[in-house]
Amino acid sequence: MEDTADLRALIETIAAETGFSGDIRGNEPMAAHTTFTVGGPADCWVRPAGDCFPGFAAALLPAARTAGIPLFILGGGANLVVADAGIRGIVLDTSGWTGVEVADDGPGIFTVRSGTAVDDAAAAAAEQGLGGLAFLAGMPGAIGGAVWMNARCYDRQVSDVLLRTEVLDWSPLDGSFRRVWIPCRSEEFSYKRSPFQKRDAAGFSPLILAAEFGLEKREVSDIRREMAAHRRDREEKGHYRYPSAGSVFKNSRDFGKPTGQIIDELGLRGYTVGGAQVAPWHGNIIINTGNATAADIRKLMEEVAEKVRETTGFVLEPEIIFAGEWEGTA
């Protein structure tokens, strides 16, 4: 475990230099910041608020790298299971970096800061009569994470409407992090994959700051109807009944059917490990029934994946990211 006092001192030094406002806490429980509501403490959690975020992050990232301090970027906490032992080092929470902007010089150009909840972004676009983000309505998480994983549902994905992404990118020339706009190239995106998931030789991937979308003008009432239908569908599928992360495994065309159907056909609905359970109504949703640990969720996912592999030969790929200090891992 990193010394919390030392981490806080580093963060407060950078904060004083960058006009920081926001929250800094030691031993912050990550269960309070994930949709599964599990996870142990972060050694030090920091959430810059408002316009100080880019400058603070640009100073924190190289300082942490130089000091050899692990740094984890937290978005909306969806598709994330943090270990019961917590996360070592610093957690940089993006949820204070929010807001949207409609360009005056280009119809349909809609820019969203990365910490903005995807549902809020979809609603804000709708109020401007801009369609194209309605498929995100009711989805948990933040825009930064949605771009990072090329979020997909209802036969639409983020890269369908993404024009470019603003990132903090590491420069090997002087070790600094600079704001750069990267155009969206469709060939670099695929099913729930984006170029931002790749790390360079130094082990860095860009920190997403904002996303610029190209949206089409539509009637506000039509967009609202579409969004309401998607929210209703998610509710009927039980996405909000218990703490969860939605689908836990990716689909694959090679399987010939949805992953949830495969798990259903193996009779695994309701299968339980500790407080974690395969949802009784959907095979590809795992829920926290109230007292699940992160270890319960991970073990349940592993057992389901193994039963599918043994029976069908299919190897399931998790959508969920496992972060933090897990027993038996480096």
Q: What mean pLDDT is reported for the chain? A: 93
Mean pLDDT over 143-165 rounds to 96
- In eight-state DSSP terms, residue 241 is S
Tell me: pLDDT of 295 over 90.
yes
Identify the band that residue 330 occupies on the pLDDT scale cut at 50, 70 and 90: very low
Helix (H, G, I), strand (E, B) or coil at 272: strand
Identify the band that residue 157 occupies on the pLDDT scale cut at 50, 70 and 90: very high
Which residues in 68-87 are b (16+ Cβ under 10 Å) and which e? ebebbbbbbbbbbbbbbbbb
The percentage of residues in the chain with a pLDDT greater than 90, rounded to a whole number, is 86
With beta carbons less than 8 A apart as the criterion, state whether 2 and 16 touch.
Answer: no
What distance in Å separates the CA atoms of residue 53 and residue 22, rounded to the nearest whole number? 9
Q: Which residue of the set 95, 114, 194, 247 is catalytic? A: 247
Q: What is the pLDDT of residue 198?
A: 83
Told to judge if 319 belongs to the known catalytic residues of this protein, a careful annotator would answer: yes
The percentage of residues in the chain with a pLDDT greater than 70, rounded to a whole number, is 96
With beta carbons less than 8 A apart as the criterion, state whether 74 and 89 touch.
Answer: no
pLDDT digits (tens, 9 = 90+) for 166-205: 999 887 777 778 899 999 999 999 999 999 998 665 556 7
Mean pLDDT over 6-24 rounds to 94
**Distance from the Cα of residue 138 to its chain's centroid:** 14
CB-CB neighbours of 198 under 10 Å:
10
Tell me: pLDDT of 72 over 90.
yes
Told to judge if 190 belongs to the known catalytic residues of this protein, a careful annotator would answer: no
Tell me: pLDDT of 2 over 80.
no
What is the distance in angstroms between the CA of the first residue and the CA of the last residue of the chain? 13
Q: Which residue of the set 2, 28, 226, 319 is catalytic? A: 319
What distance in Å separates the CA atoms of residue 15 and residue 23, rounded to the nearest whole number? 10
DSSP secondary structure string for all residues of 132-198:
S-GGGTT--SBHHHHHHTT-EETTEEGGGTEEEEEEEEE-TTTS-EEEEEEE--GGG-BTTB-GGG-
- Cβ-based neighbours of 287, under 8 Å, separated by 6 or more: 241, 242, 243, 244, 276, 277, 279
pLDDT digits (tens, 9 = 90+) for 37-71: 999 999 999 999 999 999 999 999 999 988 999 99
Token readout for 11 is 């963060």
Tell me: pLDDT of 238 over 90.
no
Mean pLDDT over 221-238 rounds to 94
For the CA atoms of 239, 242, 244, 250, the dihedral, rounded to the nearest 10 degrees, stands at -40
Q: What is the pLDDT of residue 104?
A: 78
- Cβ-based neighbours of 161, under 8 Å, separated by 6 or more: 132, 133, 213, 214, 215
pLDDT digits (tens, 9 = 90+) for 106-127: 679 999 999 999 999 999 999 9
Strand partners, 201: none
Identify the band that residue 5 occupies on the pLDDT scale cut at 50, 70 and 90: confident
Predicted TM-score (pTM) of the model is: 0.93
Tell me: pLDDT of 288 over 70.
yes
DSSP secondary structure string for all residues of 5-53:
HHHHHHHHHHHHHHT--EEEEEEEEGGGGSTT----EEEEEEEE-GGGH
With beta carbons less than 8 A apart as the criterion, state whether 325 and 86 touch.
Answer: yes
Backbone angles phi and psi of 236, in degrees to 5: -65, -30
